[in-house]
Amino acid sequence: MLEYIVTDALDGERIDRAAADGFGLTRSAVARQIAEGTLTVNGRPARKSDRVRTGDVLQCEPSEPAQLDAAPEDIPLDIVYEDDDLLVVNKPQGMVVHPASGSPSGTLVNALLAHCGDSLSGINGVIRPGIVHRIDKDTSGLLVVAKSDRAHLSLSEQIKAHSVTREYLALVNGRVREDSFTIQKPIGRSPKDRKKMAVVPGGRDAVTHVTVERRYRGYTLVACRLETGRTHQIRVHMQSVGHSVVGDPVYGIKKERFSLNGQLLHARLLGFVHPVTGTYMEFSAPLPAYFSQVLDKLEQE
């Protein structure tokens, strides 16, 4: 029996996508599970029309083996904090969080398996051991990883309750006029391109609090604090107000001034209540060199 607890990133998704993503199965395999009644949501048989919510428990008896496997790889990790229950990692730009189609190795999970061995929570299965939340491949910054199931469940509940502090720095196109504002627009799959997210009626509620940190000629450095954690939330929200993230290959402008390998978006602040001690802990990570170099150029102007 496989079990997967839905994370905030998949909140509101269709059951077939969530199960395929969570278990590492193909969509066709998930469709067979639903037809056979062997895929359940919170103990009841799943229906094709189901959409999952954060914290839902998916279980299935796989009719075919998982398509992916995660093996330990000796990849350096920038560990900001570690104890017996969890660790906080500063993920570099370009690193995928867990194995997936097109990225079977070289991921954060592969590195964690080499560093932690068997000391990772098993709630999200063999493909995502210890992974409580994710950030995009080309976004850098802080992630918390659970070593035990107890820690994983506590951290997941905090994310679900929107009590985890998550603040990002982003360089966006254009001059943002307001010093601070809140974007509250629903996000869901784009009806025009299912590989993209978009602000859509009927999407999942999404809230981003934005504060200007520095204005440059043609650009603005902003701090984005997440109240919710939808897929690509900051990138979609900033595009929706006419200020796409610089370097964003999906939601950004076509002609970028700077030569970049991805968006200038960095998870600089992460805070949560320790799942065992009950103490609030907060961590910060400095901007990566490529981000700072762009800001230095803008400062010189």
**Cα-atom radius of gyration of the chain, to the nearest Å?**
19
Q: Which two tokens stand for residue 130?
A: 């210890």
- 56: annotated active-site residue: no
Asked if residues 154 and 121 have their Cβ atoms less than 8 Å apart, the reply is no
C-alpha span between 224 and 154 (Å, rounded): 24
Asked if residues 124 and 118 have their Cβ atoms less than 8 Å apart, the reply is no
Catalytic residue among 56, 136, 138, 248: 136
184, 194, 164: which is closest to 274 by C-alpha?
164
SS3 category, 41: strand
Q: Torsion angle, CA of 164/168/173/177, rounded to 10 degrees?
A: 70
- State how beta strands 280-284 and 165-173 pair: unpaired
Known catalytic residues are 136
